[in-house]
Amino acid sequence: MELQQDLHFTFAHNNFNVVDLDKSLDFYSRALGLKEITRKEAEGFTIVYLGDGTTRHMLELTWLKDFDRPRYNLGDNEIHLAMRVKDMDAALKKHREMDVVCFENPAMGIYFISDPDGYWIEIVPDKE
């Protein structure tokens, strides 16, 4: 079944809930160069949207002010983001220096980094 022509969906954002918003903002800035696009403050939460400066896709970080555990339950952590980079060697070197590489798959030419809350981000070569 095909969608109606006026129902063309495009990606807007993905969400990660975070325990320490400042720590997460620092990580995403240093590790991936993401910048804050906009922020929404509310009584019980803060939402910050990050962008890469190239695409319209954003990462939404949600900080629940009354969250009462030291970490979110990420299950088997099979859900992840993937980011492209042109210079895989330089990226891997930077992420190793930051001590955030959590899995490498040289046969596939990819690796994963882990953010402060344990979310995995796949790093893949930009072959365009």
Residue 80 vs residues 4, 48, 57: alpha-carbon distances, Å: 30, 18, 15
User: Residue 42: its pLDDT value, please?
Assistant: 95
2, 36, 43, 122: which one is catalytic? 122
Tell me the CATH number at 111.
Answer: 3.10.180.10
10-residue mean pLDDT series, the chain (128 residues): 70 93 98 98 97 96 91 77 94 97 96 94 90
In a domain, 36, yes or no: yes
Predicted TM-score (pTM) of the model is 0.87
Tell me which residue range forms the domain holding 43: 13-65+79-125
Phi, psi torsion values for 23, nearest 5 degrees: -60, -40
Q: Which residue has the tokens 């019980």?
A: 44
In a domain, 71, yes or no: no
Catalytic, 41? Answer no
In a domain, 7, yes or no: no
User: Residue 80: its pLDDT value, please?
Assistant: 87
In a domain, 73, yes or no: no
Residue 102 vs residues 9, 39, 72, 108: alpha-carbon distances, Å: 33, 29, 18, 15
In a domain, 43, yes or no: yes
In a domain, 1, yes or no: no
For the chain, the domain total comes to 1
